[in-house]
Structure 1
Amino acid sequence: MNNRETLRELSVFGLLLAIGVAGRWAQPDWNFTPLAAVTVIGGYYFRSLLAAILLPVGILAVSDIILPAHESVAVQVSVHMMMLVPLFLGRMARHADGWQRVGLGVLGGVLPATAFFVVTNFVHWASTGMYEKSIAGLTACYIAALPFYRSMLAGDVFYLVVLVACLMIASARVPQRVRVQA
């Protein structure tokens, strides 16, 4: 990779990191954030798997400085681990073509929020004393989390559409001017 490509990748990394952190700080209560969408785009955009992994890790590490603490270490670990879902969807889309890439894009808008909802709420139920340890308690936990799921799903779809559109615009080739000598 040459210096120009390195500078472009660092710039994109910094921009995506800033979008992710600002988005989490702006609306942490209802989960309408760009975190999963930024992670999908990072997984797709960066050649280096390390850079793709460091993006959501960096967003979570920086934004968690100001956001309220997670209910338990287990919940925090599950939140961080669930960012692997959009990361790997982005990596898979990087190597896909045509409709397969479109399908992975649709999954990138829906699957991260759904997997996050299922896993993190189960961990919350299992690791905190907020709900009784029964099917009724687990059901109550999931029902209480539905507004957060709806907001996260809406945020994932919205931000993914916006970021994919930005990526497409940025990738568009501008025709070269041709000088005609008289």
Structure 2
Amino acid sequence: MTPRLLTLLAIIALCALYRVMPHPWNVSPVAAMALFAGAHFQTRAMALLVPLAAMALSDLVLGLHPTLPFVYGALLLTVMLGFWVGKDINPGRVLAGSLSGSLLFFFVTNAAVWLVGNYYPPGLEGLNQSLAAGVPFFQYTLVGDLAFNALFFGAFYALEKHFPQQYSH
């Protein structure tokens, strides 16, 4: 294993660990982990599978729920956003990927609560209620995604600059 791969795996493992520790609601490294994995793993299979494995292991500790397939689907779509970011990693792409991932996760997971939960009535009215109920939490998702993306991409960029032989593609 190269230092680059070990570092990538360590970042993903720390994200899984963070999920099971007490933290503010919706301030989580999950979407940042997915975006980062998509941008940095050398194979798409690793980029897709490693974050899913981290989520699955932490979900075994946190508990399973009916919206998990939607959460994992949103995670996989965010990894795919990371493929785009990885084509030319720069602050603008990381910001666009982070904001897109936050919005994607918000819409997918709140729609999932409406679809599989018994909390909201069927139809557009229920979907709107579910989305509206998620709005107060979105600010925390956004802050967490932006902060963790800045941390992951910034730290890895610094490693690439200081240790180019160990961290270059």
TM range (shorter): 0.7 to 0.9
Instruction: Tell me whether 1:86 sits opposite 2:71 in the alignment.
Output: no
Instruction: Tell me whether 1:171 sits opposite 2:160 in the alignment.
Output: yes
Q: 1:17 to 1:173 in 2, by over 3 A?
A: closer
Query: What one-letter code is carried by the residue in structure 2 that aligns with 1:14?
Result: L
Return 5+ residue gaps in structure 2 as ranges. 164-169
* 1:31 alignment counterpart: 26
Return 5+ residue gaps in structure 1 as ranges. 1-5, 175-182
Query: What one-letter code is carried by the residue in structure 2 that aligns with 1:77?
Result: P
Match of 2:38 among 31, 43, 54: 43
Whole-Å separation in 2 of the counterparts to 1:93 and 1:136: 35
Instruction: Tell me whether 1:145 sits opposite 2:140 in the alignment.
Output: no
* 2:68 alignment counterpart: 76
* 1:64 alignment counterpart: 59
Structure 2-normalised TM-score? 0.86
Q: CA deviation at 1:166?
A: 0.5
Identity of aligned residues (%): 24
Whole-Å separation in 1 of the counterparts to 2:8 and 2:161: 19
Structure index of larger Rg: 1
Match of 2:116 among 117, 127, 133: 127
* 2:47 alignment counterpart: 52
* 2:17 alignment counterpart: 22
Structure 1-normalised TM-score? 0.80
Query: What one-letter code is carried by the residue in structure 2 that aligns with 1:36?
Result: A
Q: CA deviation at 1:28?
A: 6.4
Whole-Å separation in 1 of the counterparts to 2:63 and 2:140: 18
Pairwise CA RMSD: 2.1
Count of residue correspondences: 164
- How big is each residue's C-alpha offset from its partner over 1:132-154, in whole Å with a ceiling of 9 and x where there is no partner? 11433222211211233221111
- How big is each residue's C-alpha offset from its partner over 1:45-86, in whole Å with a ceiling of 9 and x where there is no partner? 11111111112111211110111332x2xx111100101232
SS, match of residue 132 in structure 1: coil
Higher relative contact order (CA 8 A, sep 6+): 2
The structure with the greater share of residues assigned to helix is: 2
Q: 1:19 to 1:49 in 2, by over 3 A?
A: same
Whole-Å separation in 2 of the counterparts to 1:11 and 1:50: 16
